[in-house]
Every structure is written in structure tokens, then in C-alpha cells.
Structure 1
Amino acid sequence: MYKEAMEAPEVVARQIENNRAIMQTLGREFQANDPYSLVTVARGSSDHAAQYLNYLAGLLLGKLSTSLSLSLITIYQKAINVERSLAVAISQSGESPDLIEPMKSFKEKAHSSVALVNAVDSPLARVVKWVVPLQAGEEKSVAATKSFIASLTASASLIASMGKLRELQNGLLELPENMKKAQDLDWSKAISKFSKAKRIMVVGRGLGLPLALEAALKFKETCSIQAEAFSSAEIKHGPQTLIQKGYPLLIFANRGPGLADLLVFAKEMRARKAQVVLVAPKEVREKDLIFPETDHPELDVICAIQAFYLMVEELSQELGHNPDRPKNLSKVTRTK
């Protein structure tokens, strides 16, 4: 896991360079035939990347983008009207039937279909119109790291191409160097804070919510800690009743319009004597860990998950687990 996480900057650089032509083609395609909306198809970590894509589509393109409830097709066998939607599947292996079946049905019905996939010869790749290779290479650890990051950057590249967003494209070019800087951040304080935790709430908002979802999953997979991700707004609709003295919280407060509310939330939780670890921009005095920044604010979360992966891998080792081979899990998951 550590080795593969450290390879992520190289993966991103390779992806941006090698996918230049396909992204230009997709940009022309979607500018000429503008889809009304997007629908994403994914599971697990890939669905967290899909949530990131959904936010980018809304923020930067002004388009509705939603994650498909896969059981509507695979279990309930319902026909979904996607004729004005771009269908985007995200997967490392491209082998899960509950991704293949919807995308196969969408190939003829949807406005268009794209797979962001690491295995370009997979069954998923064969049932879509366009294939965007993640370029992550072989990933041996069960816990996805570089393939997840590659899914995020492919999502950002797709949105940048669709909208001719030059600033985002330039930010992506600088991202590998930003990621290397994130690898050097000292997040060891989180290890000492969470080494005895049995449960953790991971909190984010907006673009930070997909980051929180992925971090919570990795706490479960690699550390056997019952971690749950919430929007800071959703916590106030019930979950906050659990937060008492000593309750562990990891709060991702990325720069942007949600930052102020997240800082207020962190202050409120500290007033309850909760064990708060606040990840925030370097200029925030009350931060515990630095939230890395990039040349484009919508890319900051990619560097943050890079730093988190290195921390959680070390925490897993300290707790006596094997982060590469979590109990009861396999690298390729096939569900329906």
C-alpha cells in the first residue's frame, strides 16, 4: 500500500500525458453534443471518486450529476431514461456485473457512455462508447490508493475537457509536483490520536465529502476501525448525539465556501471535549494537520487523500494489521 501510494504522482503525470488525445476528442464530442446531465456508475472507492465528479460537474459546468442506484437495474430490472445524460462508469478492474449491466443497457440509450477504468481490456470497457484509461498500472494491495487517485484526476480531466476549463487543466499539469509535497507532510499526530480508537467520525463538506467517504472506508479496511463519514450538516440531523467527551473526529476543512462552517463545527465539537483532529489550510491557527493546496482549489482534495493514505498505512502497521491484505477482502469484487 505504501509503495503504491508513493507511485501516485508518477501515475497522474502519465495519465495526463497519455490521455491527452482522448480528452481532446471527448471535449469536442461533448461541446458539439452537449448532454443535459450526467449519471455515474460505480461501487466502493470508485463511487467516492464518482461523488467527486458529481460535485465538479455541478460546480464547474452547472450540470446535474447523480450516482445511479445500481439495484434499480440489477435487482429491480427497471428501465431508466438516460437519453439526455452522459453515463460515466468508474472502476479499477472493470469486472463487477453491477457496473457492466447498467452500462451495457446505457450504451444505446444514453446520450453517450464513458468508462474511466484501469483495466482497458475488461468487460466494462467493451460495453461503453469511450474508454479513458486510468493509467495506474498493476495495483497489488487490496486497499486501493493510486487507482483511486487516478480516478479523481481522470474525473477532473473529463470535466475540464467538457467545459474547456483552462485553469483546471493547468492545475492538473502541476498536480504531480503538488502531490509530492503532500507526501512530505507530517500527519503523525493523527496516528497518536487514533491509535486507541474503536470508532471515528470523518467529516467533510462539498468537495471534502468524497474525501471523508474514502478516508472512512480506509480506516475500516486497513485498521478495522468502525469509521463513518458525514457531511458536517448531516451530523446535526441526528449523529451528533453520539459525540461526547473523547469521541474521535477527523474533520477535513478544505479551502472554499464551506471552510468557515467547518471551522465553526470543529470549535463546537472541541467545546464538547470531543477528540478532534482538524485538517485545515496552513493559515488556520487551530489546525492539527495541514490541508495541502494545489494550483486549483478543486484539486486540493487529491493531495489530501495522498497524505491521508500514508498516514493510515502507518496507523494500520502500528495496530498490527496488514494493510495490503485486509481480512475477508479481495482485490476484485464482483457484486450484482
Structure 2
Amino acid sequence: MATSYTETKTANPKRGRMMQKANVQRTIFILLAVTPAFAGYVLFTLYPNLLSVYYSLLNWNGISAPKFVGLDNYTAMLQDKYVWRALLHNLFYMVTIPVLVIGISLFLAYLLTNKGYKGTKAFKVLFFFPNVLSTVVVALLWAFIYDGSFGLLNGLLHLVGIDMNGFYWLGDTRTALSAIVPPFVWAGVGLYVVIFMNAMITIPKSLYESAVMEGAGHMTRLFRITIPLISPIIRVSAIFLVLGTLKSFDKVLILTNGGPAGSTDVIGLYMFNLAFGNEAHNYGYASAIGMFLFVILVGAKLLVDKLLPNQSYEY
């Protein structure tokens, strides 16, 4: 039976009110879902960063009345040789640690995924174990390994006929900087092994079978099939590692506190010591260095985007 004009006119406003009510409910739900996260971002990220910009324009020790000095802190920072020394150390870690972590993780993940070793799950747990340990435990463990008197490293070298005569690896300016790298790599490899393994198991085995039929070896399959197909995962991992290496200073703080003679100092640790580690605190100058570090982090992100463009491959 045909619907009359009166019935249609009556139904349309009712349907419109129902749709309007549904839109209001959807808007309320979105606001309730987003507001806590947005409030947390504003309170714990945006507000502290804006406050740091303000502090960077002050001469303030956290107790006495702050004095506005404009860009004097930035001028002093650009002339501070210790800032540039710490930045060089950061750049050294930024290049070595991500390359080693990603390279070793890819190799181990490929072996565990494509070689068919028994106990792969046990290996995943074993490799992931360092990520369960706290930063303090990892740093103290490696401090013991590098110890001159009872260290594991000197003991192993002694077994192969190399007597280090109580050499303390973290106490010599020639070796301290490089000695910081293994703790970071050891603590980071396990997580990325698990990440890369989970990415590799999504690749169809038919691709590898076809490559084997064509005579491709393991290295060819790794660089021609595996790495291209998981390149988005590698790119994100590289970004996290580069930015994390630039920001991190906790292990350096525990292992050497920037010594000996500043040979392992990094930007984050130098800023921390200026704000909290010295008797004469200088929050303004430390905040200026924090803003400098922020610019470096943005530049590092853009550099990684340039070197590792976001590409997707289909199979």
C-alpha cells in the first residue's frame, strides 16, 4: 500500500530527531574517549615543554627569584665546548647503537624464523630477557663485566692468554666511550628480535620456496625478500632507536656519570647534571640545552625519514 504524504511528512521529522540524537551521542562518546588522553598530553607533555621554553629565558636556580635574561642562555650554550663534546658522543651512539641493534636483530630473527630451529619460543624468551631487567640492573651488570679486578671481560681475556693487568674499561678515556655501546645493544636486541620475527612470519612461505627454486641463497633471500617486505617495521624501529639513543642517559649515568674526564658525557646527562647534579643549580641554562636537544631530535627524525623513506611492497 502506498504511503500517504501525511505519513511521510510525519515520519521524516521523527527520523531526523533520531539521527540528531545519534550524532549527539556519538559526539559525547568521542569527547569522553579522547578527553583523558588529550588532557594527559597537555598536562604531562605540552605544558612542561612550554614551561621549559619559558625557563630557558631565565637565570634561575629553582630557589631565588628568577631573572629574565632573554637569549643569553642560548648564546652561552653555543659557546659551551662541553655541549658540543656531549653532542659528538650522542652522534657516535646514534650511528653505532641503532645499526648494531637492527643488524643483529634482523640476523637472529631471520635465523630463528627461516632455519626452523627447535625451541624457537625458548630463544625468543631468552633474547627478550634483558628487556625485563631494569636499567639499573643492566648497568650494574655491565659495570661488573668491565671491572678491572674481578670483571668477566678481563677474566675471559686472561683465559686466552691476554693479561690486561687490572685494566678498567670504563675508567680509561681510550675505551670508555666504546664500552658504553655493548650494554645498550645487549639490552635492546631482544625486543627487536621479537618484533622482526613477528613481522617475518607474515611473509608467505611460497616466496621463499620460489626463491630457493631459482637458486637464491639465504643472504639473497634476506636482502631481496625479507628486508624489503618488513622495511616499514625496520623504519619505525630505526626511528625509535635513534630518538631513544639521543634522549637516553640513564645507563651512562650509572656506568660512568659522563667520566672519565667527560669522555662519555651526553647531552641529556649534561643537562641533568646542570639542573640537579651540581650544588649551584641552573634550571634556565639546562632548559635551553633541553630546547637544543628537542631541535636535534626533530632533525634526527627528519634525517631518518630522508634516509629510510616510507615504502610499501606488495606480494
TM-score normalized with structure 1 length: 0.29
Larger RCO (CA within 8 A; separation ≥ 6): 2
The structure that is helix-richer by fraction is 2
The structure that is strand-richer by fraction is 1
